[in-house]
Structure 1
Amino acid sequence: MAKGYWVAHVDVTDPVAYEKYKAANAAPFAKYGAKFLVRGAPQTQVEGHARARTVVIEFPSLQAAHDCYNSPEYQAAKALRDPVSTGDCLIIEGYDA
């Protein structure tokens, strides 16, 4: 079974308030087996447009990635993030060779 991934590009306008979102998302991420592969590390933009922060999260399956995003726990965390950041988030099925 192919894994699922979240790929997010985010600009944070209030880093202190954003920390509350990060604390609140820990429980749903643990519940759905999330593993951070990239979490706001330094990045070099070589083409196109990018936001300041990139996050890549791996889930055991595409279904788990969707279930986490749609869970009440994550949506409560997201409500903390929305007023203090702007971003794009994709849920993508991994390549299972």
Structure 2
Amino acid sequence: MPAYATAILWNVDLNNEIVEYLERIDGTLAPFGGKFIVHGAAQQVFEGPADANLIVIEFPDFEAAQGWHDSADYQAIVRLRTDNCASIGILAPHCGENHVATDVLKGVAIDS
């Protein structure tokens, strides 16, 4: 199953470090089969910071996503982004076919 690296960025200072990050990130994805699914273009923010942008990168599986994130090549550039914006980053596995919202409640104790 595929997995995803997602990020929400806001207050981005578009400077030389961000440009360098953008120039180098594609090379970090290739060895792990990563590809952008959502990046740039027009986005409509309906909750949260008004200038936020969503980025979604798909990987063949969760191990590949973790390998990319932990790789020396990505770790060498990540500060170029994190030092120049506010962000949240998450690695998540695909939820599977035919997933419904209540599936997350299976095996979870609910307080009354």
TM-score range, shorter chain: 0.7 to 0.9
1:44-59 equivalent positions in 2, closer than 5 A:
44-46=44-46, 48-50=47-49, 51-59=51-59
The normalised TM-score by structure 1 is 0.87
Deviations 1:41-67 (A, max 9, x none): 222223x31452110000000110011
Once the two structures are aligned, what percentage of the paired residues are identical?
27
Which protein has the bigger strand share? 1
**Secondary structure in 1 matching 2:90:** strand
Change (3 A) 1:16 1:52: farther
Q: Which runs of 4+ in 1 moved over 6 A?
A: none
1:12-51 equivalent positions in 2, closer than 5 A:
12-46=12-46, 48-50=47-49, 51=51
Which protein has the bigger helix share? 1
1:1-97 equivalent positions in 2, closer than 5 A:
2-11=1-10, 12-46=12-46, 48-50=47-49, 51-97=51-97
Structure 2, unmatched stretches of 5+, are 98-112
By relative contact order (CA 8 Å, sep 6+), the higher-ranking structure is 1
Structure 1, unmatched stretches of 5+, are none
Instruction: After TM superposition, give the deviation of residue 7 of structure 1 in Å.
Output: 1.2
The normalised TM-score by structure 2 is 0.76
Deviations 1:45-92 (A, max 9, x none): 23x314521100000001100110011100111022122122101111
Q: Which has the larger radius of gyration?
A: 2
